[in-house]
Amino acid sequence: MAEDAAPKIGVYVCHCGGNISDIADPETVARFASGLPGVAVARTNMFMCSDPGQKLIADDIQAGLVDRVVVAACSPKLHELTFRSVLQRNGLNPYLYEHANIREQVSWATSDHAEATAKSESIVAAAVAKAGRLQPLDPIVVETTPCAAVLGAGVAGLRAARDLAQAGIEVALVEKTAALGGNVAKLDRLFPNQESAGELIGRLVDEVLHDERITLYTLASIDRAEGYVGNFTLHLRQKAGGVVVDRAARLNGRTIGAYRPFEGFMIGDHGAAEEGQNGDDERAVVIEAGALVVATGFEHYTPTKGEYGYERLPQVVTLPDFIELMAGVEPGSRLEHDGRPIKSVGFIHCVGSRQVEGVNKPQADGEINEYCSRVCCTATLAAICDLQEKCPGVAVYDFYQDIRAYGRGHEEYYEKASKGGAVFVRFAGAEPPAVAKAPAGDPCLVTVRCKDGLTWGEEVEAGVDLLVLAVGMTPSDVSTLVDSLKLPVGTDRFLLEVHPKLRPVELAVNGVLVAGASQGPKDVTEATATASAAAAKAMTLLSSGRIELDPFVATVDSQRCEGHGLCVEECAYPGALVLTEENGATRAIVNAALCTGCGACVAVCPTNAIDVAGWTLGQYEAMVDALLAEPQEVTP
Amino acid sequence: MSETPRFDALVIGAGIAGLQAAVDLADQGFKVAIVERDPSIGGAMIALSKVFPTLDCASCITTPKMAAVARHPNITTFTYTEVLSVGRAGDRFVASVLSKPRYVDEEACIGCRKCEYACPVEVVDEFDGRLGARRAAYIPFTTAIPQTALIDADNCTLCGACVRACPTDAVVLDQRPREWQLEATAVVAATGWKLTPVGAKPQYGGGEITNVLEPTQMERLLAPHGPYGRVIRPSDGKIPESVAYVQCAGSRDQTLGVSYCSRVCCMYAIKQAMLLSGSLPIADITIYYMDIRAFGKGYEEFYRSAQAMGIEFVKGKVARLTENDDQSVTVRVERLDQFGQVEERRHDLVVLSLGMLPGEDVRQRFDLEVAEDGFVMTPQPKDAPCRTTVDGIFVAGTASGPKDIVDTIVEAGAAATEASLYISKMIAAAETATAASSADVTSPAADRVEVKV
Amino acid sequence: MNAPGTTALSAQKILVLATATCAYPAADATGQAHLHYPANAFIMRVPSPVLFPDEFYFRCFEKGIGGILVMSCGHECPYAGAFAKLAARIDRVKLGLKERQIDPGRIRLSAICTVCTKPFLKEIDELNSLLATPSEEAIA
């Protein structure tokens, strides 16, 4: 295309199967668009994203009718890439494309037909104005470090590390504690197949420790992270006693470890010490990685003091405490806690989950947890079944809101617990059970009082010797990583994926993937599935040694630049903008891989010599002009 | 016979699980064949209205994945093709497949639908939940891929209208089914689910009450391009003033042989209820349930907004549905929140929240084992949920048990990783075998690593 | 939602400069929830509004834009230091507007996150109310 040739813009207006056309009239919008300067064709289709819709564009490009494209449809987050690739497949630069959002921001936000159609017209006019000023752009190619860093060595991290290593990728596996296995190691037998946590972790650890492509760091936490997709740098701090299992340590052949129940897999007397890596002091470790898999997991919710008697009554324990207690109980033996025989056990669900504002006490950070923690129902039922099996005479009271035994093999625990005589009492989230110390002389130690939703809301009281709180999940603290890489976090404070269905294991920061419960409560099955899914994405990123990035970075017009250097002062990214001498003149130069395209430099340039590619000031000015242009009458 | 086509991976089923697994494998450079027995890819998801908990339109999420598969240089798509059997042949699998006749030349058809407009035969449309009609010559739905017509031989009267209408002479009424074979190193079974039968429970009318709907039918009523374009009662076109959902109508019920929870019904009922209160603002909407299982990310919050919108949740067991003279339906419910007291309420429309059954008995095509629930058995459910009882065959999505879309897509990614590692291992093994045996492959010090459990 | 006697078609246009990572998705989320707002609000996607120089805003008002909502990510901003620079600039622009005898209330800076549908609506409604009741006294 000759530089000075007038643009031939194609405008395509989508009906979205009525989503748009029930409110705004695509035909009128297309007619209006056909009268705009630079517009060569304007068409409509039922679903522009469908094959026939895309073919409309392809045919017009192939026929030489259009060399720039505007699609007026849903939000660009859904289909901007779809349409860019239509241009690319048909030989046009994909960045000669502009998207007009007339569904989320028009037909779904307005009920008046005339207003919606007029607004759509203005939005299309602005998009056309921008399209006429688009320049072809080429992606920025970045060489990638052929290594992935996996943060967290719980089941998700172990699984992701193992997958990546087996795919031939070097992996740095970073664990903040001394043990491998994370929270799963603090369990006994796992639902639904009653496999022991130790066996499961042992199997994963075995693969991880045998794979020479994995370097393991224990007792290592993240101080700081920087970089961008393909080239991240992690600054770790490894505590005294932290282990490094790398090729050298493996060759030393003394990487011995053992699984300790309720602690995890401990790397024992290891070869790394000989390398002098293991002194008494903390040490800094720097890791370069092309992609990050965040598998930092969860913390059990800690009840606030006095919540259901926690930390006030010694008979009130959490479910993980109870699981550990039961692991030591031989079948048929007498159940004891705190030196006293236990004849009845109560369980309260949703402790720290499904909380209600004004009812549940906020945590230290002032937050309440509205979300469901997903695993506690089945975990509680499995614990009840274990109790019934080992100590058949013990009475069981289960206080719940809804039994969420959703997974394969979960419902069986519910049935078994019911058949085993557990008494279920349903409470409402707004009226949680009240727990008190039993009055003197009462045969039980603790009383639980609750309005029973199963019997017309009548007040029931159960005396129990032990009360188990089914605590939910809260995200692990990954604030250093979140702050330094600007990772998105949801209202539930877990890491937030780009889209739960389109990109479920990717974070908005390119190259950072999420696995396991750091994204939200998950059971082991679900955690390992997300780990493998995240591994698939990392494998795609790192397999070719190079990736292509969006070209939306600052560009300097060296004809206009006078070397004032205000942009360099304004830029927050070291190295992204520098002044250099060019033919005796000072000029600003951009490092495209470091520039984030924020545009801070654009606003301060006294000679308008800098723009962000794809988002230029000239384009914005033209869009504003187009929005304000008087609508032209177009006769049908 | 021409040479047997060879692929790295064979993905069976082009629903959302199969599509995702195929793309994830192809993006890593593997050659993938995806085989779908229906005339279009897209599976069950493409027929949904909107999806929880984001309320994105289902088409908007599915169509980009369909397009990505259809256009991927590493993926070959075979639609209207059934996998008859999968057997092992040395280090790879051989699949016998049957391409069913469309009676339309796929190369020649331009998808203009002139045959469809010309066809005089109207047939009940399965895609629209049997609420609308299609022609005997048809393109399955607006966003179908490929946009190729087919002729439904069971209903075709051989009148020849389509032959005359076709501008490209693409109608070939004497097309024959074609059985052929393909080879693949690994297999991903994404064979999906089907609804528990609507007529299974005589006390719910045995499928005979017109205004008792399947949930998939309600999805079509709610879809923007559904059969009526709005929500009306199928029996008489009345705009319903009261709609009820009967939860666990096909699950958690041993009398039906479905003792498990189908995992999605609570959420789809809540979602449909929310969509209904949008399209029928004055209607009363009631959900009769045992437990509300809003367990996924953002689901509890979704449930709460439904409660805030005024949707009534009644904890109770629905004992019977009866049709009234005015075609409304009486719901007889034992209130679990009121000592099992029995109550009767009339609703204009009732939706049975049916559950999920395995899409098929996979044993008929594979040498795979299934669990008691009929779904593909996963012997390592905790750390390798996509592995089956056969090395090299992996499972994704609802073929291994009920699952929502979010969990299905994640699992498809996991299945792709498993398949990818398996294929790489097989390729490496083949290379090692062909390499000179003298090559001294130094193994890592792995055998010196001692692991005690 | 419009002031009495006006419709979105005749009302002055509001320019919403919405960050691609926060406010633009919030506008989408508002539509997805079918929460309606007057059709005179036009959303322009920007990587960060920090790229607009002071003059851009003045020119918008000269051209006839009724009001500008700068919707940033606030402290969640993915770009280092950008929010502080932006806030300082908007303060300067307000002063500049006063000098030009334009109500400085016609430009507003807010932090809108991806799920901030209600604050998003509130910003538009409040600016619309101001535009519907022009008062000379507002210019201090």
Does position A222 have pLDDT exceeding 50, yes or no? yes
CB atoms < 10 A from the CB of A363, how many?
17
What is the average pLDDT across C68-73?
A: 94
ipTM over 0.95: no
pLDDT per position as a tens digit, A435-449: 999 998 888 899 999
Q: Which chains contact C through at least 3 pairs of Cβ atoms less than 8 Å apart?
A: A, B
Mean pLDDT score across all residues of chain B: 92
How many contacts does A have with C, using Cβ atoms within 8 A?
A: 129
Judged by CB atoms closer than 8 Å, whether chains meet at A210 and B446 is answered as yes
Q: Do A276 and A409 meet the contact criterion of CB atoms below 8 Å apart?
A: no
- The two beta strands, A512-514 and A291-294, are parallel
Judged by CB atoms closer than 8 Å, whether chains meet at A115 and C8 is answered as yes
Sign of CA dihedral A241, A247, A248, A250: positive
Does position B451 have pLDDT exceeding 60, yes or no? no
Same domain (yes/no): B79, B216: no
- SS3 for A86-121 is HHHHCCCCCCCEEEEECHHHHHCCCCCHHHHHHHHH
Q: Do B45 and B58 meet the contact criterion of CB atoms below 8 Å apart?
A: yes
In single-letter form, the type of residue at position A580 comes to: T
Which of the residues A372, A373, A496, A542 would you substitute to probe the B interface, choosing the one with the greatest number of B C-beta atoms within 10 Å? A372
Judged by CB atoms closer than 8 Å, whether chains meet at A371 and B417 is answered as no
If phi > 0 it is left, if psi is from -120 to 50 it is alpha, else beta; for residue B55 that is left
Does position A255 have pLDDT exceeding 90, yes or no? no
- Residue A252's nearest CA partner among A267, A236, A237 is A267
* Kind plus residue range of the DSSP H or E element containing B56: strand B56-57
For residue B87, the model assigns a pLDDT of: 95
Q: Do A447 and A463 meet the contact criterion of CB atoms below 8 Å apart?
A: yes
pLDDT per position as a tens digit, B319-333: 999 999 999 999 999
Same domain (yes/no): B209, B345: yes
Same domain (yes/no): B185, B200: no
Judged by CB atoms closer than 8 Å, whether chains meet at C32 and B278 is answered as no
- Residue A425's nearest CA partner among A394, A395, A391, A402 is A402
For residue A274, the model assigns a pLDDT of: 42
Which of the residues B63, B417, B423, B448 would you substitute to probe the A interface, choosing the one with the greatest number of A C-beta atoms within 10 Å? B417
Whole-number Å distance between alpha carbons of A556 and B251: 64
Same domain (yes/no): B212, B288: yes
Q: Do B250 and B258 meet the contact criterion of CB atoms below 8 Å apart?
A: yes
What is the average pLDDT across A611-615?
A: 96
Whole-number Å distance between alpha carbons of C18 and C65: 16
Enumerate helices (H) and strands (E) in chain C, giving the number of each: 4, 4
Does position A543 have pLDDT exceeding 90, yes or no? no
- The two beta strands, B349-352 and B341-347, are unpaired
What is the average pLDDT across A297-309?
A: 96
Cα-based distances in Å from B139 to A315, A402, B40, B70, B228: 67, 44, 9, 17, 18
Does position B436 have pLDDT exceeding 60, yes or no? no
> Out of A448-462, A599-613, B170-184, C40-54, which region has the weakest mean confidence (pLDDT)?
A448-462
Whole-number Å distance between alpha carbons of B80 and B78: 7
Proportion of chain A above pLDDT 90, given as a percent? 79
Is C31 an 8 Å CB contact of chain B?
A: no
Among the three residues B136, B171, B206, which one is the final residue of a domain in this structure?
Answer: B171
CB atoms < 10 A from the CB of B26, how many?
24
pLDDT per position as a tens digit, A474-510: 999 999 999 888 788 998 999 999 889 989 999 978 8
Whole-number Å distance between alpha carbons of A27 and B408: 38
Same domain (yes/no): B42, B158: no
Cα-based distances in Å from B171 to B45, B81, B148, B156, B341: 30, 19, 11, 13, 62
Is A273 an 8 Å CB contact of chain C?
A: no
pLDDT per position as a tens digit, A505-533: 999 788 999 999 999 999 999 999 999 99
Is C129 an 8 Å CB contact of chain B?
A: no
Cα-based distances in Å from A550 to A82, A222, A409, A547, B23: 15, 28, 45, 10, 21
For residue A632, the model assigns a pLDDT of: 54
Range of the domain at B386: 1-100+177-192+359-453
| Structure confidence at residue A5 as a pLDDT band (50, 70, 90) | confident
Give the total residue count for chain C: 140
A 505-534 residues inside an 8 A Cβ radius of C: 508
For residue B450, the model assigns a pLDDT of: 41
pLDDT per position as a tens digit, B394-408: 999 999 999 999 999
pLDDT per position as a tens digit, B183-208: 999 999 999 999 999 999 999 999 99
Give, in degrees to the nearest 5, the angle at Cα B27 between B23 and B31. 80
Same domain (yes/no): B155, B76: no
Q: Which chains contact B through at least 3 pairs of Cβ atoms less than 8 Å apart?
A: A, C
In single-letter form, the type of residue at position A490 comes to: G
> Out of A179-183, B427-431, C49-53, which region has the weakest mean confidence (pLDDT)?
B427-431
What is the average pLDDT across B231-237?
A: 94
Same domain (yes/no): B340, B403: no
Same domain (yes/no): B224, B324: yes
For residue B119, the domain's CATH number is 3.30.70.20
What distance lies between CA A207 and its chain's CA centroid?
A: 26
What is the average pLDDT across A323-327?
A: 96
* DSSP string computed for A497-549: EEETTTEEEEESSTTEEE-GGGSS---HHHHHHHHHHHHHHHHHHHTTSEEEE
User: Bridge partners of B338?
Assistant: A455
What is the average pLDDT across A288-312?
A: 97
Is B176 an 8 Å CB contact of chain A?
A: no
For residue C1, the model assigns a pLDDT of: 43
Cis peptide before B53 (omega within 30 of 0): yes
Same domain (yes/no): B375, B275: no
Is B60 an 8 Å CB contact of chain C?
A: no
C57 versus A1: which is more confidently predicted?
C57
Which of the residues B55, B275, B276, B305 would you substitute to probe the C interface, choosing the one with the greatest number of C C-beta atoms within 10 Å? B55
Does position B453 have pLDDT exceeding 60, yes or no? no
For residue C26, the model assigns a pLDDT of: 87
Owner of token pair 């056969």: B390
Proportion of chain A above pLDDT 70, given as a percent? 96
Judged by CB atoms closer than 8 Å, whether chains meet at C8 and A111 is answered as no
Nearest chain B Cα distance for residue C85, angstroms: 34
Judged by CB atoms closer than 8 Å, whether chains meet at A528 and B382 is answered as yes
- Residue B166's nearest CA partner among B231, B103, B109, B223 is B109
Whole-number Å distance between alpha carbons of A185 and A188: 8
Name the CA dihedral angle for A58, A62, A66, A67, rounded to a multiple of 10 degrees: 90
Same domain (yes/no): B28, B72: yes
Same domain (yes/no): B204, B310: yes
pLDDT per position as a tens digit, B69-118: 998 999 999 999 999 999 999 999 999 999 999 999 998 887 777 899 89
What is the average pLDDT across B416-445?
A: 77
For residue C135, the model assigns a pLDDT of: 58
For residue B438, the domain's CATH number is 3.50.50.60
Does position A636 have pLDDT exceeding 60, yes or no? no
Measured between CB atoms, which of B54, B56, B278 is closest to C34? Answer: B278
Among the three residues B310, B339, B356, which one is the final residue of a domain in this structure?
Answer: B356
A 110-129 residues inside an 8 A Cβ radius of C: 110-112, 114-116, 118-119, 122-123, 126
Residues of B in contact with A46 (CB under 8 A): 142, 225
Does position A458 have pLDDT exceeding 90, yes or no? no
Task: Report how many domains make up chain B.
Answer: 3
* Structure tokens that stand for B87 in this block: 């057997």
For residue A631, the model assigns a pLDDT of: 61
pLDDT per position as a tens digit, A380-409: 999 999 999 999 999 999 999 999 999 999
Which of the residues C35, C42, C89, C92 would you substitute to probe the A interface, choosing the one with the greatest number of A C-beta atoms within 10 Å? C42
Residues of B in contact with C34 (CB under 8 A): 278
Whole-number Å distance between alpha carbons of B361 and B370: 8
CB atoms < 10 A from the CB of A7, how many?
18
Same domain (yes/no): B87, B108: no
A634 versus C24: which is more confidently predicted?
C24
Q: Do B121 and B157 meet the contact criterion of CB atoms below 8 Å apart?
A: yes
> Out of A141-155, A447-461, B280-294, which region has the weakest mean confidence (pLDDT)?
A447-461
User: Bridge partners of A468?
Assistant: A317, A347
* Structure tokens that stand for C107 in this block: 């430009």
Does position A155 have pLDDT exceeding 90, yes or no? yes
- Residue C70's nearest CA partner among C36, C110, C102 is C110
Among the three residues B113, B136, B171, which one is the final residue of a domain in this structure?
Answer: B171
Measured between CB atoms, which of A202, A407, A536 is closest to B417? Answer: A536
